[in-house]
Structure 1
Amino acid sequence: MPNHTLTRRRTLSLTGSTITAGLAGCVTNGTDQLTNNGNTDEDETGASQDDSDGDHDHEVEHTLGHPEEHIEVRMESDDETHHFVPHAVHVELGGTVTWMLDSGVHDTVAYHPENASILPSASDQRIPDGTDPWASEIYDTEGESFEMTFEEEGIYDYTCTITGHGHRGGGHHGGHQSHESTGMVGRVIVGDPDLDPDEQPAMRPPSSELPEAARHELEQFNDQTRDALNDH
């Protein structure tokens, strides 16, 4: 992936009680980009490589069950499909995730009732109890990024709220599906969380209020998370 000049970068720290935010200067990503030619839905390590319909190929390598200190997630659009790449990532407690815009118009918004004003389906909470949700700005320039440091162990699900021509909201906008409706959802696993659904809302079956494609992806995340963490 080529280096890009970052025009905006928003940095947050997520804890059990507060989120602090600020603007940072122009930086470059300090992690190496790993590639893999696998085209399967899930590889033998539990890493998500591609969707089951085979319509797209994400050349990434990330193994759930082996948390990293920092991970970059690309936000991509290709024709009518939209994706976070990798879909599911695993960071250490206190680890950082950077969402980098690669193509299209995107944001990253946690599933939590406090975000329901911009994402109606966010009323289905899918982050740990007692943690505050995040909602990034809308990014439309390649290389823009949003960064979060996760200080609470747990599982965090999120989506992109964009519809139509760069608008926010659920369902359809101007005849266009939301990116969530196409299955653009993601997961961050932090540390070594208890997988009991009573402890981790993200491990519960997704609500019927969510779009079908999003539900399908989240169900796959749950299977991959159980396989990876139970074997770890």
Structure 2
Amino acid sequence: MSDHTLTRRHTLALTGSTLTAGLAGCLDNGTDQLENNGTTDGAETSATRDDSDGDHDHDVEHTLGHPEEHTEVTMESDDDAHHFVPHVVHVESGGTVTWILDSGVHDTVAYHPDNASILPSATDRRVPDGTNPWASDIYDTEGEIFEMTFQEDGVYDYACTITGHGHRGGGHHGGHQTHESTGMVGRVIVGDPDLDPDEQPALQSPSGELPEAARHELEQFNDKTQEALQGH
């Protein structure tokens, strides 16, 4: 992170009933909810990349089953491809995920009906029951970050809603191809969640409302999550 210029910091604490947000400039006033969200200084990403063939690495099993207190996800664009790297992360209950803009224009938006106005396929809820969703700002300057602290064990899926024009385009239903439509989706596993799909909406097969590329990625996430966490 030392190479990034932090121009904005948005910090959220996600619990079963509340969602608290603050801007970096206001954090000096502080609240108990935001004090322990962590920083990005010295933190290391668990992503691995293999760009020798122009593709990106989906092998994130080494991060699963060993939850961390804090982890980072970069938001990247290269040529016509867009990625969250790593695609899947695993944090402790009360752990923090920091999304960092590396390149392109991106956001991070949870699959939840409350976000349907900016992500129509979010009507397919893919976060635990009883938790509130998040929807970040749009980030277009390298080094901008968005942080979430997750208090509830569970599996949380999210997507990028941005179109090729750098705006939120209303999803694939609106006639504009979004980054979600190209497969830019991600997952946060928190704590030691119940792996029963009836208890974790994210572990259910994605509905036909989602773009094909997003469905493909989420199915892969489900396979890796089940394989890595069975027996925990």
TM-score surpassing 0.5?
yes
1:163 aligns with 2:175: no
Which residue does the alignment assign to 1:29? 41
Deviation at 1:97, TM superposition (A): 0.1
Structure 2: give runs of 5+ residues left out of the alignment.
28-38
Deviation at 1:57, TM superposition (A): 3.1
Contact 2:109 2:158 survives alignment (8 Å): yes
Contact 1:172 1:178 survives alignment (8 Å): no
Which residue does the alignment assign to 1:56? 55
- Distance across 2 between alignment mates of 1:16 and 1:36: 32
- Distance across 1 between alignment mates of 2:47 and 2:150: 25
Which residue does the alignment assign to 2:201? 201
SS in 2 for 1:227: helix
Paired residue type of 2:89: V
- Distance across 1 between alignment mates of 2:47 and 2:208: 35
Could you list the runs of 4 or more consecutive aligned residues of structure 1 that deviate by over 4 angstroms after TM superposition? Answer: 25-28, 33-37, 58-62
Deviation at 1:29, TM superposition (A): 3.2
- Distance across 2 between alignment mates of 1:149 and 1:121: 24
Contact 2:40 2:98 survives alignment (8 Å): no
Paired residue type of 1:127: V
SS in 1 for 2:126: coil
Deviation at 1:231, TM superposition (A): 4.7
SS in 1 for 2:84: strand
Aligned pairs, number: 217
Paired residue type of 2:44: D
More helix by share: 2
- Distance across 2 between alignment mates of 1:199 and 1:59: 25
1:138 aligns with 2:138: yes
Q: Deviations over 1:131-170 (max 9, x none)?
A: 0000000000000000000000000000000013111020
C-alpha spacing 1:13/1:129, structure 2 compared with 1 (3 Å): same
Please show how residues 58-137 of structure 1 align to structure 2 within 5 Å: 58=57, 62-137=62-137
Paired residue type of 1:170: G
Structure 1: give runs of 5+ residues left out of the alignment.
40-49
Which residue does the alignment assign to 2:225? 225
- Distance across 1 between alignment mates of 2:78 and 2:199: 36
Contact 1:71 1:97 survives alignment (8 Å): yes
Paired residue type of 2:42: G
Q: Deviations over 1:85-136 (max 9, x none)?
A: 0000000000000000000000000000000000100000000000000000
TM-score normalised per structure 2: 0.87
